[in-house]
Chains A and B, each alone.
Chain A
Amino acid sequence: MSALLEVQDLRVTIGSTAAVRGASLAVNKGETHCLVGESGCGKSITALSVMGLLPRGAKRETTALRFAGEEIGHFGEREMSRLRGDRMAMIFQEPMTSLNPAYTVGSQMTEVLRRHRGTPRAQAVDRAAELLARVGITAPGLRLGQYPHQLSGGLRQRVMIAMALMCDPELLIADEPTTALDVTVQAQILRLLATLQKDLGLGILLITHDLGIVARVADRVSVMYAGEVVESAPTATLFAAPEHPYTRGLLSCVPVPGKVKRDEPLGSIPGVVPRMRPGFTGCGFRDRCGQASPACEGTLPRQQAGPDHELLCTLAPGWHGRNAA
């Protein structure tokens, strides 16, 4: 089966930082692929690379970047801007900064359709109202005439989602779409995304730092650390049998009600996410890893830890079981 989005060996350098150091991932049609990691691990840069939205001065290299079977790695700004907002759309963390405060919701939503499809205004307005209703906004007619500041955070994010759907995209990239929202609203927005995906057959690349979100919405998970995908597996596999020391550490850090007793320490990973210089080789996690060995400074083997379960580590799959014994 050919993937909707396929990224192979992506490398991005921004100034003196190697932000992405050989990341590969694929998103299938109708699938939610979560890219999870801490701040500075390169997950947002990966998303921006796919959309062709990297900051000026960033250098991108890939061996393949395919969208719906077509190589788009060599596309210029003109060709990318034709794809963006049309066949691939993106929503961001803070809807207030990605909506233009000076224009009404209606004029921003219809602009997408008029620009990409040349749809007449009246028809575009109908489509906008229809989508606002689709994302659970009551009184869409009223909302179309309002400005972003008149909406609550949850409503703004719904507007962003509706706007992203204006041209019926095949791929939706969502970068921390619920991080700025209250937990109650977060649950509502994630449910909405899940429903839309089922109904529209969207492929979703969801970027988050929250393992709770990953567990609940992802079909597949890729864990990123220091610019590399260190582990990738179907969601159930990753949570049941994590292999990479970083994945295992990250999972032990999350407080789960009823799991760790109060006042018993949570698991934690010492140190901080490092900044990678170009030319850095080997595992970016080795300074924080309890299992590091001299082999971690060389080229890391890409291993199969199980069916569809990839691991980038010098340790053999199953190492933790043997250590515990």
Chain B
Amino acid sequence: MSGAAAIEVRGLRREFRVRQGMFAAPKRVIAVDDVSFSVPAGSVLGVVGESGCGKSTLARLILGLLEPSAGDVLVDGQRLGGMDRRARARLIQPVFQDPFASLNPKRRVRDIVAMPLIAQGTIGTAEIARRVAEALERVGLSPDQGGRFPAQLSGGQRQRVAIARALVLRPRIVVCDEPTSALDVSVQAQILNLLAELRRDLGLTYLFISHNLAVVEHIASEVAVMYLGRIVERAESERLFAAPRHPYTRALLASVLTPEPGLGVPDVGLGDIMPDPANIPPGCRFHPRCPVAVAKCSTETPRPASDAAGLVECHLA
């Protein structure tokens, strides 16, 4: 079983200490709270949730860019903690949201894509040039575009550069953190199609983080819904969208505005209390916003219940 998992996360937890004012004692913010899951090789786990739910922190923990406060991340069966940075880079690579911020503006595209190869320190110049050219072609960029600077490219082309850089070491896993959120709809579709094609052809595994549920539904085989640091529901994509079990999942799905005229804007029923990661409510952390909460939701913390349909953490599910 563990041999088949590309990513396995056990009891993962990450705290931050945040100062909220000059003289106030620092507060503990638990961004990721006891999260466990595994992603089989070749599949796509979508992670959805509102801003501040911990999905980007989760991505950085899995990439090894942050140390967990507790718990383990196993990538391809190996513990990430203590792994050599170069070995890690050959296994797992990121694609971030903003291709304006994630590419060095002073370097040419082909040098940006070559950087991970150079950092390995063992690959010859000719081999580097060959693999860069191959990666650029793979993502649909011309050799001519390889000689340009990021500022000379459009947002979609820049995101292709970021994807080429992620693929040049031929990793097994790619962590995509909101990879299309900064792009126009027509360009978003190009990038989603490219990511789907690359996954099929190269047998990649994705952890795909997005606030756009329609995008996640399109690309993910399994979806995890995060709320204030915890996965409150996880299920196969079709099942989650057809029969959501957690009231938060239902609210998230209700707020997706599909292009169907005449339906109006739905009432998501969440009220106007916003989740605050520095102030996690007792009991079920979702209860202050939950439209169907009962008395015990405010006192008793629900336990995650796993069955064949997936996982859900709710007293009422």
Chain A interfacial positions (CB closer than 8 Å to B): 38-39, 136-138, 152-155, 182-188, 190-191, 194, 209-218, 235-236, 239-240, 249-258, 260, 262-263, 265-270, 272-273
Contact = CB atoms under 8 A, between A and B. Distances in A.
A212 B212 CA distance: 12
B130 to A, nearest CB: 28
A94 to B, nearest CB: 14
Among A138, A214, A216, A255, residue most surrounded by chain B Cβ atoms (within 10 Å): A255
Nearest to B196: A263
Name the 6 nearest CB pairs between A and B, nearest first: A212-B257, A268-B189, A253-B189, A38-B184, A255-B218, A269-B186
Nearest to A212: B257
Nearest to A261: B218
Interface stretch (B73-81, B267-275, B300-308): B267-275
15 contacts: A38-B186, A138-B272, A155-B274, A183-B50, A184-B268, A187-B255, A194-B264, A210-B185, A212-B259, A215-B261, A254-B189, A257-B217, A265-B196, A272-B154, A272-B157
Contacts of B214: 212, 254-257
A184 B251 contact: yes
Given A265-B196, A269-B189, 9 more contacts: A183-B50, A187-B268, A235-B261, A255-B189, A256-B259, A257-B256, A258-B241, A262-B218, A262-B220
Contacts of A235: 261
Nearest to B182: A39
A38 B185 contact: yes
Nearest to A267: B189
A191 B267 contact: yes
A11 to B, nearest CB: 24
Interface string B181-213: 000111111101100110010000000000111
A31 B86 CA distance: 59
A187 to B, nearest CB: 4
Given A239-B261, A260-B218, A266 B270 contact: no
A237 B239 CA distance: 33
Contacts of B87: none
A191 B263 CA distance: 12
Nearest to A221: B261
A253 B25 CA distance: 49
Given A188-B268, A258-B241, A212 B258 contact: yes
Given A38-B186, A257-B258, A266 B211 contact: no
Nearest to B272: A136
B93 interface: no
Contact of B259 (A184, A209, A251): A251
Contacts of B268: 184, 187-188
B265 A217 contact: yes
B156 interface: yes
B82 interface: no
Given A194-B265, A265-B193, A272-B156, A213 B257 contact: yes
A183 B50 CA distance: 8
A253 B185 contact: yes
Interface in B129-158: 154, 156-157
A273 B261 contact: no
A171 to B, nearest CB: 21
Given A258-B241, A269-B186, A215 B259 contact: yes
B285 to A, nearest CB: 15
A266 B213 CA distance: 15
A263 B200 contact: yes
Contacts of A184: 50, 251-252, 255, 268, 270
A260 B215 CA distance: 11
B102 interface: no
Contacts of B57: none
A156 to B, nearest CB: 11
Contacts of A187: 254-255, 257, 265-268
B260 interface: yes
Nearest to A258: B241
Nearest to A252: B189
B184 A211 contact: no
B56 interface: no
Contacts of B156: 272
B154 A239 contact: no
A269 B191 CA distance: 11
A263 B193 CA distance: 8
A191 B200 CA distance: 40
Given A182-B211, A188-B270, A256 B258 contact: yes
Contact of A39 (B50, B184, B274): B184
A250 B259 CA distance: 11
Contacts of B241: 257-258
Contacts of A188: 268, 270, 272
B112 interface: no
Nearest to A265: B193
B182 to A, nearest CB: 10
B40 to A, nearest CB: 16
B279 interface: no
Given A188-B272, A217-B265, A239-B260, A183 B255 contact: yes
B184 A191 contact: no
B177 to A, nearest CB: 16
Contacts of B51: 153, 182
A183 B211 contact: yes
Nearest to B186: A269
Contacts of A270: 190
A267 B259 CA distance: 15
A64 B267 CA distance: 40
B39 interface: no
Given A152-B274, A254-B185, A258-B241, A266 B218 contact: yes
